[in-house]
Amino acid sequence: MTEIDQTIKNQPCQTREETISQLSSLHQRSPLTNVHGMGPMLISDIPLNALQSAAACPKSKKKPVIMGIDEAGRGPVLGPMTYGAAYWTLDDDAAITNPKRHNFMDSKLMTPIGREQAFEKLKLDTEIGFVLRVIHASEISRNMLQPSTTGAYNLNEQSHDAAMQMIQAVLDAGVVLDTVYIDTVGTPSSYQRKLERRFAHQNNQDGGGKVRGGGEDITFVVEKKADSKYETCSAASIVAKVMRDEIIKEWEWSEVGYEAMCNHKTATSQAENESNDEAVSKRRKGDVDFGSGYPSDPKCKEWMKRNIADPVFGYPDFVRFSWGTTKTQMLEKSVRVDWEHEDDPDAVPDHQQTKLSQFCTGGKKRRLGYFHRMGLK
């Protein structure tokens, strides 16, 4: 199995075979990625028809390309958030969205088996291009818990940036996008203006003179429930949802020696029908009973109570430390750590610092003699 680079990748795969191989490797994570840096971004091979939209293509042969963007896993306290994009040419739209070929719909309205079958067909269709950006729980936590001096990098901003990274990656690959449909995060009109500012007046050449896709002519359509209105968004939602489920299903703990504590009754019942090797494999891959992963889910709550991995560092990096549920459990079950402030040897001691109040005269001011003579107060 090919190991994917654990950084943002700006280069598309060369073939559909390479794309599928990279998809199957996304659950393999380097421990260092959990400490710093961004999660992976996978760009499929570019459909030949989509490349005919490039700036270098004769005007008479250019084909407008439409794209949809959606996410999965925004609310859970466990696991990554994934962003998906799907695109194809407008000329191919009628054929691709024909129910006999693809029956795209909002992934939330589909059964797990239906989503998986739809994704299998999608990833084999070489006239459809797609992008997947994985934002691991560790990345979300690190960004949202930044020191106040730099300002918190909230989930909305992370979501916006993930969408813009995917758009830019496709533009850089030589595709000229005509329309991009996005399921909104936050206020649709504000998000749309942000996208328009980001891609306005793009230079079509990089520093080396290489022609790149420009984004200044993109029409952005940002709406609520866009994944149920536009087929490209529906396809993107399927990419995001299926791959998030797959990453969680194949999860391997990066913490050395860590095994999630399973629900005893459930584990005992399952063990009766499993060999020892199967049980060990399940623990290694993180096959634990945490339900949907949402903070309100009773199974998730119980999992959080059972799985404080370390009394100081708390949970494994599968957990989003920036969520209120995590903070509450950490306060109740972890060791309190007070970080002492280290004095800066170059800092000026407080008693030597000049204060603004020193420039002001203290006490009651003496009134001029005129006021006393005239009896004025």
Please tell me the predicted confidence (pLDDT) of residue 352. Answer: 52
Distance (Å, whole) CA 42 – CA 38: 13
Average pLDDT taken over every residue of the chain: 80
What percentage of residues in the chain have a pLDDT greater than 90? 47
CB burial string 132-171: b at 16+ within 10 A, e below: bbbbbbbbbbbbbeeeeeeeebebebbbbbbbbbbbbbbb
Region 337-362: mean pLDDT is 57
Coil, strand, or helix at residue 297?
A: coil
Q: Does the pLDDT of residue 7 top 50, yes or no?
A: no
What percentage of residues in the chain have a pLDDT greater than 70? 70
Q: Does the pLDDT of residue 289 top 50, yes or no?
A: yes
Please tell me the predicted confidence (pLDDT) of residue 270. Answer: 44
Q: Does the pLDDT of residue 269 top 80, yes or no?
A: no
Q: Does the pLDDT of residue 286 top 90, yes or no?
A: no
Please tell me the predicted confidence (pLDDT) of residue 47. Answer: 95
Contacts of 261 (CB under 8 A, 6+ apart): 288, 306, 307
pLDDT tens profile 144-175: 988 766 677 899 999 999 999 999 999 999 89
Give the Cβ contact number of residue 30 at 10 Å: 14
